[in-house]
């Protein structure tokens, strides 16, 4: 399958390392330079990289500097990207893995999933009602199949395909088919977004990593979720749901989830699923949350059956380390702090001074173990620190300071803002103002990505 330009660009963005947050906003800058070109055409290394190079740069000088780095990174990745993507083999692998996964996570025997289809538009060849639909993918279940007159199955729109994404989406959509077997009625359209989408995402990720062992792919998917999908309100609701489901699964575990599915199959409307989700998000144990959100008239018998089922399912597989790792990594998705460009360029500048060229900087003399007693603290050039002291003093490199007089004019205001937030510590050594980047943890903050730029 030939990639579209937007699919290829999204993939390049999802590989990480972009300063802008959310990185998906780069698409807007790129499109703004193209007067109406929506990048739905076929990807070509040369022409697409050239279009990206025409992206509309922000006006502010600091913003432009960061923007330039981001655009160069994306162009570089595009210039090496393969224009064809073998989506059919992704489907092959998903279909091969699905039956065992349906058994493990939903307790379903002999599960068969229809092969996903790649279309130019929804639903090419079947119905033109949704011709303008621009979704990444669409799963048609039995109820929707009747409503829309489209065969049951999973559909991808070719110009929306981003390599790495169909790997998850095809198993996500297969999860909806598993849910239909496990607990949904074939005729009623009973859709609980947080639970159904959340389970499809949470189980989908566990299944994908179990089938492939590919944690790199999981990281890519996490960035797609946190940097690109986060800009789409509908997808953002899925993330909310997924987080709720993960909280439920972490405490209730797989036997509880399976018992809940059986209960839903028996009595689809006995639980207020809005209340259940709220209670779980409030930190309440899922078992208690379930009691609180029961709205039928036979609470005792409902709970008895639930308990009996959960005991029975405990004899089957529960989550293992791989499952819990996949769950935990998608819980850690808190958005970073977004600094304005002048502050962010100053943060990069000062952090780089102490991390990449510490020996050109200074150190307070009392950072050294053998500082002479009673002499007072001096500002010492790092070049005067002996190699032995560097290698034998733990953490000496985190004591490196930058003199105020060394800060270039363009970063002065930015450094002042960083100091006001205590991201760098401003202090006096031997009567001179210096900045201590590690004192406010700045290099660590940049290292884990908790600080990014908004331009």
* Chain contacts with Zn ion (rule: CB under 5 A): 197, 200
Q: How far is the CB of 333 from Zn ion (least distance, A)?
A: 18
C-beta of 155 vs 302, nearer to Zn ion:
155
DSSP state of 122: T
Q: How far is the CB of 138 from Zn ion (least distance, A)?
A: 9
C-beta of 161 vs 200, nearer to Zn ion:
200
Q: How far is the CB of 252 from Zn ion (least distance, A)?
A: 21
Q: How far is the CB of 57 from Zn ion (least distance, A)?
A: 37
C-beta of 198 vs 252, nearer to Zn ion:
198
Dihedral angle of Cα 222, 225, 227, 231, to the nearest 10 degrees: -170
Distance (Å, rounded) from C-alpha 334 to C-alpha 340?
A: 19
C-beta of 174 vs 226, nearer to Zn ion:
174
C-beta of 119 vs 406, nearer to Zn ion:
119
231, 22 contact by CB (below 8 A): yes
Distance of CA 99 to the CA centre of its chain: 27
Q: Where are the beta strands (DSSP E) in 269-422?
A: 337-339, 362-364, 379-381, 402-403
C-beta of 179 vs 262, nearer to Zn ion:
179
Strand partners, 362: 381, 401
Q: How far is the CB of 176 from Zn ion (least distance, A)?
A: 6
Helix (H) or strand (E) segment spanning residue 420: helix 409-420
242, 277 contact by CB (below 8 A): no
Q: How far is the CB of 13 from Zn ion (least distance, A)?
A: 23
Distance (Å, rounded) from C-alpha 188 to C-alpha 142?
A: 9
Tell me how crowded residue 189 is: count the other CB atoms within 10 A of its CB.
12
160 token code pair: 């929306």
């Amino acid at each position: 399958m030939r990639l579209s330009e937007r699919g290829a660009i999204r993939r390049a963005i999802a590989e990480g390392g972009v300063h802008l947050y959310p990185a998906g906003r780069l698409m807007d800058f790129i499109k703004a330079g193209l007067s109406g070109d929506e990048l739905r055409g076929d990807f070509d290394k040369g022409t697409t990289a050239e279009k990206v190079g025409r992206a509309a740069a922000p006006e502010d000088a600091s913003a432009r500097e960061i923007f330039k780095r981001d655009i160069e990174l994306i162009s570089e990745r595009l210039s090496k990207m393969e224009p064809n993507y073998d989506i059919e083999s992704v489907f092959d692998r998903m279909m091969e893995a699905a039956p065992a996964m349906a058994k493990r996570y939903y307790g379903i025997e002999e599960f068969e999933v229809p092969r996903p289809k790649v279309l130019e538009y929804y639903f090419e060849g079947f119905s033109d009602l949704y011709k303008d639909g621009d979704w990444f993918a669409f799963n048609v279940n039995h109820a929707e199949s009747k409503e829309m007159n489209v065969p049951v199955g999973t559909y991808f729109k070719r110009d929306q395909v981003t390599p790495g994404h169909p790997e998850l989406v095809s198993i996500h959509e297969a999860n909806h088919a598993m849910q239909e077997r496990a607990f949904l009625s074939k005729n009623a359209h009973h859709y609980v977004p947080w639970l159904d989408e959340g389970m499809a995402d949470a189980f989908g990720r566990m299944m994908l990593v179990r089938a492939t062992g590919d944690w790199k792919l999981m990281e890519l998917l996490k960035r797609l979720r946190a940097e690109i999908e986060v800009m789409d309100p509908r997808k953002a609701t899925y993330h909310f749901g997924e987080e709720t489901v993960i909280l439920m699964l972490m405490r209730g575990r797989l036997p509880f989830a399976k018992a809940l599915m059986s209960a839903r199959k028996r009595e689809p409307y006995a639980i207020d699923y809005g209340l259940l989700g709220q209670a779980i998000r409030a930190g309440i144990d899922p078992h208690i949350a379930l009691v609180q959100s029961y709205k039928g008239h036979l609470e005792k018998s409902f709970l008895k059956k639930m308990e009996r089922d959960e005991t029975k399912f405990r004899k089957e597989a529960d989550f293992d380390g791989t499952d819990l790792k996949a769950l935990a990594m998608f819980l850690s998705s808190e958005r970073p702090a977004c600094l304005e460009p002048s502050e962010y360029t100053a943060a990069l500048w000062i952090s780089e001074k102490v991390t990449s060229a510490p020996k050109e900087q200074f150190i307070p003399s009392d950072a050294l173990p053998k500082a002479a007693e009673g002499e007072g603290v001096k500002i010492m050039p790092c070049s005067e620190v002996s190699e032995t002291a560097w290698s034998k003093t733990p953490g000496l490199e985190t004591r490196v300071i930058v003199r105020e007089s060394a800060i270039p004019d363009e970063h002065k205001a930015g450094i002042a803002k960083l100091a006001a937030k205590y991201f760098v510590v401003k202090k006096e050594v031997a009567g001179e103002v210096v900045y201590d980047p590690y004192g406010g943890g700045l290099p660590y903050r940049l290292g884990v990505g908790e600080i990014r730029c908004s331009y």
